[in-house]
Amino acid sequence: MGHYLVRRLLIALPSLVGISVVLFTVLALAPGDPFADMVQNPNVPPEVVMNLRAKFGLDDPVWQRYFRWAWAMLNGNWGFSFISRIDVDKLILGRLPVTLVVIGASQVLALLIALPVGVISAARPYSWFDRIASTFALIGFSLPTFFTGLLLILLFSIKLDWLPFVFRADISATGWEWWRQNILQAIMPVTVLGLLQGASWTRYVRSAMLDVIRLDYVTTARSKGLREYAIIMKHVVRNALIPVVTLVALTMPQVFGGAIVTEQIFRVPGIGSLLIDAILRNDTPVVMAVTFVLSCLVILFNLLADLLYGWLDPRITYR
């Protein structure tokens, strides 16, 4: 086990270096310019832009810029944003709480939908409940979030005027009012994200359950005369959840990465909107930091999922 862990971590190192090289090269090759706004402003002379480019080292060759970035990163210095001249780690930390709350809540919602609906569907396959649930799941993961998001805004904000559609990270009210306002503004983004994720997880849970439910030991349990509830909960669900747990673990980096489209629609100040803003403005240090952290998390959670798998299913061993 210990050997396995060390080996996996050692394998992770070259992949991280590879990822960073690819990211940096793609960003360097991508057209665009962090100072495009200034170039268009007749009050800013071109020399100012040239001066800034030189000062931020944008005119150096790509490999020089890469090594400068990599060395700084190794020393724990994430660099600063070209656009706001603020340290990147401060920018990311500022966006993290909202991201964790909104995306985390949506994942919890997704699980709350997917587990019961998936289990019941599989327990009575091709029943009316299963058919209806399957139809909704299909609709759910076929509809993109920008569509469902706008639909909800149209209905609940504009027609009914129940919910606000601009998310504010900073609500000045206190006590119950604070909670009420925060919940009201989070309902729509959380629902949009939760339904999408929930729909696909429902299908996974259902098919994992169906795989297990046909096995001989379940028939044995039935023939022992156990109650249906006990069979499903104790014998089927526990085993069926093994692949689902891996799946959930693998989507965890998303919780940190935010949801770009949904955050943009509802103006949620999360990491996703930070990333898209940085990409649109060619703010390389921010894009690098966010994507690099995400790749680290993906590798980490992959490892975690593998370890979890072994813990859940003792037949699996590590060498």
Partner 1 sequence: MQEEVLRKLVDDVRAGRTDRRAFVARLAGLGISAPFASLLLASAGVAQAQPAGYKPTRRGGGGALKLLFWQGPTLLNPHFGIGAKDQEGAALFYQSLARYDPDGNLVPVLAAEIPSRANGGIAADGRSTVWKLKKGVRWHDGRPFTADDVAFNFAYATDPTTAATTLAQYEGIAAATRIDADTVRFEFQKPTPLWHRSATVALVPKHLFEAFGGARSRDAPANLRPVGTGPYRFVEFKPGDLVRGEINRDYHAPNRPHFDSVELKGGGDATSAARAVLQTGEYDFAWNLQVEDEVLTRMEASRKGRVVACPSGDVEVIQINHADPQLEVDGERSSPKSRHPILSDGAVREALTLLLDRNSIQRFVYGRAGVATPNFLNNPTRLNSPNVKDEFSIERANAVLDGAGWKRGGDGVRAKDGKKLKLLFQTSINSVRQKVQNIYKQACAKAGIELELKGVTAAVFFSSDIANPDTYGKFLADLQMYAVAGRPPDPSVFMQWFVSWQATGKANKWQGVNRGRWRNDEYDRLFRTSEAELDPVKRTVLLIAMNDLICREHAVIPVVYRPSMYGLARQLVAPLSGWDTALSSVAEWYAEA
Q: Is 40 exposed, middle or buried (0-12, 13-18, 19+ CB in 10 A)?
A: exposed
Distance of alpha carbon 85 from alpha carbon 188, whole angstroms: 33
Applying CB under 8 A, the span of 118-126, 130-138, 233-241, 262-270 interacting with partner 1 comes to: 262-270
Question: In terms of CB distance, is 104 or 164 closer to partner 1?
Answer: 164
Q: At its nearest, how many Å lie between partner 1 and the CB of residue 230?
A: 51
Number of residues that bind partner 1 (CB under 8 A): 53
Residues 2-41 that bind partner 1 (CB under 8 A): 31-33, 35-41
Applying CB under 8 A, the span of 12-20, 102-110, 123-131, 155-163 interacting with partner 1 comes to: 155-163
- Establish if 170 lies at the interface with partner 1 (CB under 8 A): yes
User: Would the CA dihedral through 258, 170, 274, 304 be positive or negative?
Assistant: negative
Q: At its nearest, how many Å lie between partner 1 and the CB of residue 69?
A: 17
Q: At its nearest, how many Å lie between partner 1 and the CB of residue 215?
A: 51
Question: In terms of CB distance, is 10 or 160 closer to partner 1?
Answer: 160
**Angle (CA) 207 209 213, round 5°:** 120
Q: Which of residues 117, 153, 236, 244 is near partner 1 by CB under 8 A?
A: 153
Residues 61-120 that bind partner 1 (CB under 8 A): 80-81, 83-86, 91, 94-95
Q: Which of residues 2, 10, 14, 43 is near partner 1 by CB under 8 A?
A: 43
8-state DSSP, 166: S
- Establish if 47 lies at the interface with partner 1 (CB under 8 A): yes
Residue type, 48: V
Contacts of 168 (CB under 8 A, 6+ apart): 185
Q: Are 213 and 236 in contact (CB under 8 A)?
A: yes
Distance of alpha carbon 106 from alpha carbon 312, whole angstroms: 25
Question: In terms of CB distance, is 48 or 307 closer to partner 1?
Answer: 48
Q: Which of residues 4, 23, 53, 226 is near partner 1 by CB under 8 A?
A: 53
Tell me the two tokens of residue 250. 């693998």
Q: Which of residues 277, 300, 307, 308 is near partner 1 by CB under 8 A?
A: 277
- Establish if 211 lies at the interface with partner 1 (CB under 8 A): no
In the Cβ-directed half-sphere of 254, how many Cα atoms lie within 13 Å? 20
Q: Are 286 and 293 in contact (CB under 8 A)?
A: no
Q: Which residues of 143-180 are buried (b: 16+ CB within 10 A; e: fewer)?
A: bebeebbeebbeebeeeeeebbbebebeeeeeeeeeee
Binding site residues, partner 1, CB under 8 A: 31-33, 35-53, 55, 80-81, 83-86, 91, 94-95, 153, 157-158, 161, 164-166, 168-170, 172, 264-267, 269, 273-274, 277, 280, 282
